[in-house]
């Protein structure tokens, strides 16, 4: 029985590995994804596609288990009835119109008659394609094709929606519309899993991420969780920039801290300095006392490493 209870994780990987002959595509991945919007991040070859194809029931794990709504998804019609999938591939039945394409897939989902028409119309409308859906797919722009792929994925109101690079090829308006659609569905309780390699997009979309590298799950949780994990790592140096009235004087004070391993000046301006620390928590604990004791005026404090892209760079280098 397929469960859509919000208490249960919609997607569950339990020590799942996948081999392609001698090549490993996914290596002992364990994680759970619940309702809301989750981003799957990683460079090419990280295993994102394997992960997604296992969720969508196209591939089976070689070892371990993958469950979607409590059941193995491979060729499982019950799971697929609650799962929507927008693939990355740009392949279509080119002679069909957008409406025919969505209608055919809706037919295969078991809809007919008035409900079929209503669902097709509604999903096409939700992706902003109503006025262009009767044109042949072969003549569609990349963005229009992307929208139609999303339309076929949402036509049956799925509980789990998997979108593989859904913003590829979309213009800014299209991006905004699809992002709004994804966040709306997530807010309604749908489990939306989005794969992307464009980090700034993901950062704006959600702070709940799964980070993959070389088939392994490198990090998971919110951006904050990952930052906290990195803060606990004393092996990898982190950088904090400060704009302060007397940078050299303050630098001398900061260098007395065991957690500070170096300071650089004048990168952006004469009042700007960059502190390197191997223990950000200790550094931030000590910073207020040093500031008050020295009567420094700190105009700006930033940790560029907190940005997702920088975090990814650090994590990927570390592992």
Partner 1 sequence: MTDLLLMRATLREAFRPRRLVIALLLTLLPAAIGLLWRLLAPKDGFNPAEVYDSLVVGLIFSFALTILSVTYGTGVVSQEIEQRTIVYLLTRPLPRWRLLLARFLVSVLVVTAVCVLATVLLALTVFGPAEFGAAEVGPDLKALILGSVAYGSLFLLLGTALPKPLTWGLIFVFGWETWVPKLPGSFALLSVMSYLRALAAREISVNPAENAGDNLLLAFSRAPQVTISPSVAWTTLLLLSAVCTVTAMIVFSRKEYVPREDAE
Q: Is 298 in the site for partner 1 (CB under 8 A)?
A: no
Q: Which of 16, 83, 124, 185 binds partner 1 (CB under 8 A)?
A: 83
In whole angstroms, how close is the CB of 215 to partner 1 at the nearest point? 9
Nearest to 279 by CA among 250, 312, 236: 236
218 contacts 212 by C-beta, under 8 angstroms: yes
The one among 15, 62, 63, 93 contacting partner 1 by CB under 8 A: 93
In the complex with partner 1, which residue's Cβ is closer, 149 or 238? 149
260-279 burial, b at 16+ Cβ within 10 Å, e below that, comes to beebeeeeeeebbbbbebbb
Q: Which of 29, 61, 67, 85 binds partner 1 (CB under 8 A)?
A: 85
DSSP category for residue 138: G
Q: Does 53 bind partner 1 (CB under 8 A)?
A: yes
Using CB under 8 A, pick the residue from 22, 91, 235, 317 that binds partner 1: 91
Q: Where are the beta strands (DSSP E) in the chain?
A: 11-20, 23-33, 36-41, 63-68, 83-86, 160-164, 191-196, 208-213, 216-222, 238-244, 260-265, 272-277, 298-302
Residue 112 has phi, psi (to 5 degrees) of -155, 170
Of 27-35, 75-83, 175-183, 198-206: span binding partner 1 (CB under 8 A) = 75-83
Region of 55-63, 181-189, 247-255, 311-319 interacting with partner 1 (CB under 8 A) = 55-63
Q: Is 1 in the site for partner 1 (CB under 8 A)?
A: no
Site for partner 1 (CB under 8 A): which residue of 1, 7, 22, 23? 23
- For residue 183, give Cα distances in angstroms to 50, 167, 199: 24, 13, 17
| Contact residue for partner 1 among 4, 58, 130, 168 (CB under 8 A) | 58
Q: Does 81 bind partner 1 (CB under 8 A)?
A: yes
Nearer to partner 1, 45 or 221 (CB): 45
Q: Interface with partner 1 includes 283 (CB under 8 A)?
A: no
- Is residue 223 within 8 A of residue 210, CB to CB? The reply is no
Q: Does 110 bind partner 1 (CB under 8 A)?
A: yes
Interaction between residue 255 and partner 1 (CB under 8 A): no
SS3 of residue 123 by DSSP: helix
Residue 174 host element (H or E): helix 172-187
Q: Candidates 4-12, 56-64, 167-175, 185-193 — which segment interacts with partner 1 by CB under 8 A?
A: 56-64
What is Dmax (Cα atoms) for the chain? 77
- The answer to whether 84 and 153 have CB atoms below 8 angstroms apart is yes
Give me the phi and psi of 125, to 5 degrees please. Answer: -65, -40
> Is position 78 an interface residue for partner 1 (rule: CB under 8 A)?
yes
Q: Which of residues 144-173 bind partner 1 (CB under 8 A)?
A: 152, 156
From 6, 65, 75, 252, residue interacting with partner 1 (rule: CB under 8 A): 75
163, β-bridge pairs = 86, 194
Residue 209 tokens, joined = 């991420």
**Least distance from C-beta 10 to partner 1, angstroms?**
16
Residues found near partner 1 in the complex (CB under 8 A): 20, 23, 25, 45, 47, 49-50, 53, 56-60, 75, 77-78, 80-81, 83, 85, 87, 89, 91-93, 95, 104-105, 107-110, 112, 152, 156
């Amino acid at each position: 029985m397929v469960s859509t209870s919000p208490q249960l994780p919609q997607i569950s990987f339990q020590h799942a590995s996948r081999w392609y002959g001698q090549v490993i595509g996914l290596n002992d991945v364990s994680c759970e994804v619940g309702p809301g919007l989750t981003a799957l991040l990683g460079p090419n070859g990280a295993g994102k596609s394997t992960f997604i194809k296992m969720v969508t029931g196209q591939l089976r794990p070689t070892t371990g288990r993958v469950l979607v709504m409590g059941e193995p998804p491979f060729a499982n019609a019950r799971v697929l009835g609650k799962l929507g999938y927008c693939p990355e591939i740009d392949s279509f039945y080119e002679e069909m119109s957008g409406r025919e394409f969505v209608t055919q897939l809706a037919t295969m989902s078991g809809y007919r008659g008035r409900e079929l028409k209503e669902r097709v119309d509604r999903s096409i409308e939700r992706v902003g394609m109503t006025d262009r859906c009767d044109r042949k797919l072969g003549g569609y722009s990349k963005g229009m094709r992307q929208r139609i792929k999303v339309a076929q994925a949402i036509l049956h109101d799925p509980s789990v929606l998997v979108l593989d690079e859904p913003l590829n090829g979309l213009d800014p308006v299209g991006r905004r519309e699809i992002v709004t659609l994804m966040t709306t569905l997530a807010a309604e309780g749908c489990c939306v899993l989005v794969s992307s390699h464009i980090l700034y997009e993901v950062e704006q979309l959600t702070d709940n991420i799964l980070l993959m590298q070389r088939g392994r799950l490198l990090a998971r949780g919110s951006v904050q969780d990952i930052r906290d994990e990195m803060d606990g790592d004393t092996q990898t140096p982190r950088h904090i920039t400060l704009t302060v009235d007397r940078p050299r004087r303050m630098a001398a004070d900061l260098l007395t801290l065991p957690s500070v391993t170096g300071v650089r000046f004048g990168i952006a301006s004469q009042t700007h300095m960059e502190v390197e620390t191997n223990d950000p928590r200790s550094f931030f604990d000590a910073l207020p006392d040093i500031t008050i004791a020295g009567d420094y005026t700190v105009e700006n404090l930033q940790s560029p490493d907190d940005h997702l892209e920088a975090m990814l760079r650090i994590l990927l280098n570390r592992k």
